[in-house]
Structure 1
Amino acid sequence: MYWQILFFSISTFLCLSLSRLLLSLWQYKRVHNAGGLRPIMFGGLRVDTTTVGFALALPLLLAPWFNDALWAQQITAVYLSAMWLLILLPELSSVQFIMEYDVRPNRLYTDYLKHPKEVAGMLWQGYKLPVFGALVLLALLCYAGSAVFGRTFPFAQSFSWPAALGLSLASAAVSFLAIRGTLRHRPLNPSTVAYCGDCLLNSLALNSTYNVAYALYSLKNERSAADLYGDLPTADMQRLVLDHAGIQSTHPELPSLHQHIANHSHARPLNIVIIVEESLGAQFVGNLGGQDLTPNLDKLSTEGWNFRKAYATGTRSVRGLEALVCGFPPSASDAVLRLSGAQQNFFTLAQGLKPLGYRSHFVYGGEAHFDNMKGFFMGNGFDELHERAQFKDPAFVGTWGASDEDMFNKVHEILSDAHDTPTLCLAFSVSNHSPWEYPSGRITPEGETASVQNTVRYADWAIGQFFDRAKQESYWENTVFLVAADHDARVGGADAVPLRHFHIPALILGGTVAARQDDRIISQIDLPVTLLSLADASIVHPMIGQDLTKRQTVERAIMQYGENFGYLQQDLLTVLEPGKKHRQFTYTAPADYQVVETHPQALETAKAYALWPTYMYDSRSYTIATTHDVQNTYSHALSIAAE
């Protein structure tokens, strides 16, 4: 069995590497412009190791016990031949798939399998020669593979049970490390090897079997809101959501796509900097009635546009990021950063601002493959990534990465180097996170040194230091800054939706931003739309958030808490819970809920907002028209085949 395993490993690595090399040479111009072959080939080895690790985990565990048994070798030969076919088939489909979708086989590859009649007709009508060539090559490779690792070895070595036990334990450890792909915080995923803004090149660093398998694995994160909360006619859902946002769609297939006209005018579009503060809930912020831990933020709140009743959409960082960068509301599924169908052609501010000449940066002091941030942002419009590995001589590195002051130093560097190029910069802090690490000498700790209170004090210190410097720089007058939390820390409680834990700071600053205290109830999804107006960035986008520079807005907030969906309009909170009747409350901060009789209009609106994200994701409609045409290729091809 060991010889069979060795031959299979060598054959698989060689074939996958050769395929990756040939695909890269086919796309050489794009590969060359993005930095050459090295990141694709070396990243590919990591992914191939994980693929081979999955395939060989079982035979490696059993080999010490049955290495010399001919029947076991024969079964292993059949198993490895099946794995060989499973790995090669998507790989040989890659060229045609790339020609259609400009990316390796992914979730759409499996969607095709749901329509065997139509797909067979499509292949027969338009792809006879490629299909025939691929089948011939597949047959030859399968024959060659089975001839190499399908052999049996009558004189294979046997092992005593202590040796077999030791080898099994060693095999388990090797398989675990190979499958995990890294010793870092999170296992290897497609985001780990993403290295540029070209989705095709990032997918070349994968192999097609891995890409398809990961897409299938990610389906566990997708849930139907209609199954949880009940259905609503699509037309009614669209009408309620779009009317609230004041949107008149300009595209029949993209319901919320519309032209945003900025109502602030500047010599050129301003830089947009979104500073996402980890776990900085309103409970810590003095000017929002919280603990007296943020003197710098409190001072800045008197100098900019301060939203005193801003609410997060969820309790995870990915929720805050999808709201602040994509303007996408929360759903019953996981956040879109982690969903396979949103890894390209999904709207972000970076995608929308490209026509205006913006260059987009994502700054994160940790490992950006965490929560698939790297893959999602690089696949959806961001030009440059700055993560821990790119930080030179950071002042402090903790468990989660370089400190907040290092993040702000990188933001300062980006803005200083931008000159007249309009810049979008998304900066995500890491310091205010357990185990509560921060550099010494910045603050005077109170109580236990490693505590959330002290990391909040440090995060606030870093904010103050950055803005003291930014105000002295030339970019101050040309930049709109947003400081907002992703979510609160340690959200919990017996309430169906604990609103006080969704209350977050949101502050807009900059040389052109007037000081203002705003007591309207707003959602995180309103902030990116508002930034566009303040920056004089008129673009086409599908966001349903409200432009808060307009006087007439609906005071409402949307939030997902576990499986519960909350819709707050003024003081009325509607809660949708799976398998239960809805509940409605009047809410008075910080935690007073009074049950009230059903308000039908508020209930219908809440259900519309709960269903909207699932509908937009499933229909691949949350994008701009120029990219949506690529997504339509699949349905168009099937419709032609059906005819």
Structure 2
Amino acid sequence: MLKQFLNSRYALLAYFILGFVCVSFLLRTGLLMFSLEKTKFSVPGILRIYAQGLIFDLTVALLLSATYQLYLLLLPEKLIGSVFNKVATYSWLTLMLFICFLSFFAEVTFWQEFESRFNFIAVDYLIYTYEVINNINESYPLPILIGCILLLVLFAFFLLKRLGVFQRAFKKGMPFKKRIAISGILLIVTILAPLLLSNSNADISENRYENELAKAGIFSFFSAFKNNELNYNDFYSLIPDKLAFQLVRSDLKNPESTLSDQWNAIKRTIKSPATAYKPNVIMITVESLSADFLGYFGNQQHLTPVLDSLAQTNLVFTNMYATGTRTVRGMEALSLSIPPTPGSSIVRRPNNDKLTTIGHIFEQEGYTRTFYYGGDGYFDNMNEYFGKNGFDITDRGRKLNLGDSYTTHRKLITDKDIQFENAWGICDEDLFNAVIRGSDESFNNGKPFYNFVMTTSNHRPFTFPANKINMPQGNREGAVRYTDYAIGQFLNQIKSKPWYKNTVIIIVADHCASSAGKNEIDVSKYHIPCIVVNLPDQQHKTIDSMCSQIDLYPTLFNILGWTYQSNLYGQDVLEKTYKPRAFLGTYQKLAYLSGDSLVILGPQQQIETFKYNKSDNEQTATKLNKETVEKAIAYYQTAYDLFKQGGLKQ
């Protein structure tokens, strides 16, 4: 039966599936070798990687060949070997081989960047083709890459021809009844396999690398596409709503606040006995700035002399954690002061307008609010989100959608103001120059200003203007050094401005450079720097309590002596009743770290609990008390419900 199958019109199908599995095996082995220095693999773990990987690879191969399976079933015997049959077969094979080889290359580069199979980031990247294609073109020689892929396709054709596969594939002698049996089985398996197989089937080990290596890239991509937004109430562990809000409200209550009487709300009035100081505020949100890039946190590469100097003379949060691994997640935390919710960031979701953002608090105090971005703000829905929440927009604007609601309050950074740009946008110096022009304008109009600035230089392809720093381009370290240089230039320029003495500058990361580690949520990969510059009575001060990005503004407002209406989950870290905790998440897993207790919530109502040792970044599976687990659930459950039910609206 097998011999007849391989010696018939099904020969090419069989060799395609076999070839896909073999190349996938080689790719998996290469990624495994690449990861050996990052974590330890056990023999059973390696066997599981290849056994489970084989199942994923066969499933992908069957799905890719589904149309060809149907074609082989329906193609009349008299057309076997005809010109039509050959053109259709060669065309299908060329397309499939090109897609496969391209995806294998993409998997290697994606693994280098994220140490993961394709996930929701890859889905997002496919949407934003301009940035991604140009980024690839600037990071890799695209014509050479495509040429190499085409050579691999030709080589595959050569091998198949030498093996006589085409000759057998165009051979007659397979009646319809036999085709029904063969194609019927294949199509049934092809349909059932993705229904029975889930990416979560691979997530059974505490070793994240092991789980990722067991998966298949293309399967992971479509799994991420399908699960890009998750309903918390359908997929995660729940506690009664009243208990959830009771626990959160209890945490948020302190002597300086008066909570709303509404049981399912966190709105409250926060009062300060101090005299309010209302400076201009410029927040520089630095792309991918891990804390361990700074000498202040122990780095020996001297990448950030400017930031290290600022950290020695200003207010520094030494134990702050990002809420996620994407820019939009950092924006969500810094603008909404809310824990991450599963799936996409609120920045990218529908119905995210007129929210009680940090910008809304500044608006109540009479501030102008502007979002500055070095790239095109249509990316990740940034302009739409900030525009619909009361911010003016200043961005590169290479793509201007005139139908968007925010365009009437949008300024473009034009060519005459740009010395350098790459696929992701203009260099940080050019962006900061735009911030200075906008700040001058606000000052001249007699208005205090709040600027949310998002940089891009510390992003692949890691290129920047020449002759600025003594480091090569094209690598992360050079990009970090250039960003630090640009921040230094910015601060030197604004010191001569009449508005500088009354301006506070915040420097904070959106997320770390890499989130990959031996654990699915690697706490050390969320540690970010945050420096607050030019506060009144400026002096060096550290805030060492563990906290989250969401706590930045509640703490700042306390320092400034503000009384305001809050609908924020963030807390004043300096308040005596503050209990250190942090919120960390991927697009599926949600973590709550309280002291050394770590709770990780996942789909299918999964709850994992650990003791976390910060000194060696170890997570030890441990049963935690019920109160800690319920507190973790309460924060994420209420945050999701408030957004979905309009509780975050103004």
TM-score (norm 1): 0.61
* 2:570 paired with 1:558: no
- 1:320 CA displacement: 0.3
Query: Identity of counterpart residues, as a percentage?
Result: 28
Pairwise mapping of residues 31-180 of structure 1 onto structure 2 (< 5 A)? none
- Report 1:138-287 matches (<5 A): 184-185=130-131, 221-246=228-253, 248-250=258-260, 252=262, 255-262=265-272, 264-266=274-276, 269-287=278-296
1:568 aligns with 2:593: yes
Residues 225-281 of structure 1 deviation map (CA, whole Å, 9 limit, x = unaligned): 233331111111112112222264336387011123346534x62112111000011
CA distance in 2, matches of 1:532, 1:442: 36
CA distances 1:593-626 after superposition (whole Å, capped 9, x unpaired) = 23333222211111112212211111110123xx
Shift in CA distance, 478/219, structure 1 to aligned 2, threshold 3 Å: farther
- Amino acid of the residue matched to residue 130 of structure 2? R
Distance of 1:508 and 1:237 partners within structure 2: 33
Say whether the 8 Å CA contact 1:327–1:544 is kept in structure 2: yes
Shift, 1:184, TM fit: 3.3
* Aligned residue number for residue 39 of structure 2: none
* CA 1:435–1:251: 2 relative to 1, 3 Å: farther
Q: Which runs of 5+ in 1 are unaligned?
A: 1-160, 166-179, 188-217, 625-643
Aligned counterpart, 2:614: 588
Matched-pair contact (CA < 8 Å) for 1:361–1:386: no
C-alpha separation between the residues in 2 aligned to 1:434 and 1:403?
A: 12
Amino acid in structure 2 at the alignment position of 1:185: E
* Contact kept? 1:273, 1:482, Cα under 8 Å: yes
Structure 2 counterpart of 1:385: 394
The verdict on how the C-alpha distance between 1:551 and 1:440 changes in structure 2, with shifts beyond 3 A counting, is farther
* SS of residue matched to 2:130: coil
Q: CA deviation at 1:404?
A: 0.6
Report what 2:648 is aligned to. Answer: 622
Mapped contact 2:131–2:423 kept (Cα < 8 A)? no
Structure 1 contact 365–404 (Cα < 8 Å) conserved: yes
Match of 1:309 in 2: 319
Aligned residue number for residue 478 of structure 2:
454
Q: Tell whether 2:546 aligns with 1:521.
A: yes
Question: Given residue 383 of structure 1, which amino acid in structure 2 is its aligned partner?
Answer: D
Runs (4+) of structure 1 moved beyond 4 Å? 180-183, 218-221
Q: What SS does the corresponding residue of 1:540 show, helix, strand or coil?
A: strand
Q: Is residue 545–residue 573 contact of structure 2 (8 Å, CA) maintained in 1?
A: no
Distance 2:484 2:545 in 1: 24
State the alpha-carbon separation in 2 of the partners of residues 605 and 589 from structure 1: 25
- Cα–Cα, structure 1 residues 182 and 608, in superposed 2: closer, same or farther, change >3 Å? closer
Letter in 2 for 1:563: Q
* Mapping of residues 460-609 of structure 1, within 5 Å: 460-512=484-536, 513-579=538-604, 580-609=606-635
Take 1:495 and 1:517, find their aligned partners in 2: how far apart are those partners? 29
RMSD of aligned alpha carbons: 2.8
Q: CA shift at 1:365, angstroms? A: 0.9
2:354 matched to 1:330?
no
Call closer, same or farther: CA 1:594–1:541 in 2, change over 3 Å.
same
3-state DSSP of counterpart to 2:636: helix
Q: Does the 8 Å CA contact 2:597/2:624 hold for their aligned counterparts?
A: no
Aligned residue number for residue 424 of structure 1: 450
Q: Indicate if the aligned counterparts of 2:439 and 2:449 stay in contact, CA closer than 8 A.
A: yes
Contact kept, 8 Å, 1:500 with 1:590, in 2: the verdict is no
**1:254–1:622 contact (8 Å) kept in structure 2:** no
Distance 1:413 1:590 in 2: 46
* 8 Å CA contact 1:480, 1:509 repeated in 2: yes
Matched position secondary structure for 2:529:
strand
Aligned-partner Cα distance in 2 for 1:596–1:436: 41
Question: How many Å separate the matches in 1 of 2:396 and 2:553?
Answer: 23
Q: How far is 1:536 from its partner?
A: 4.4
1:330 CA drift (Å): 0.3
Contact 2:600 2:607 in 1 (8 A): no
Q: Confirm or deny: 8 A CA contact 1:363 1:387 kept in the other structure.
A: no
Q: Which runs of 5+ in 2 are unaligned?
A: 1-86, 92-125, 134-224, 398-411
C-alpha displacement at 1:290, in angstroms? 3.4
Whole-angstrom distance in 1 between the partners of 2:553 and 2:241: 26
Distance in 1, matches of 2:563 and 2:395, equals 27
Q: TM-score, normalised by structure 2?
A: 0.60
CA distance 1:568–1:424, shift in 2 (3 Å): same
Contact 2:610 2:619 in 1 (8 A): no
Q: Size of the alignment, in residue pairs?
A: 416
- 2:56 aligned partner: none
Q: Separation in 2 of the partners of 1:258 and 1:485?
A: 28
* Cα distance, 1:430–1:603 mapped onto 2, change above 3 Å: same
Q: Residue type matched to 1:337 in 2?
A: V
Distance 1:273 1:251 in 2: 35
- The alignment partner of 1:347 has SS state of coil
Classify 1:220/1:359 alpha carbon distance in 2 versus 1 (closer, same or farther; 3 Å).
farther
> Does the 8 Å CA contact 2:283/2:452 hold for their aligned counterparts?
yes
Q: Using the TM superposition, give the Cα deviation of residue 181 of structure 1 relative to its aligned residue in structure 2, in angstroms.
A: 11
1:228 and 1:514 map into 2 onto residues whose CA distance is 47
Matched residue, 2:375: 366
Counterpart contact for 1:325–1:348, Cα < 8 Å = yes
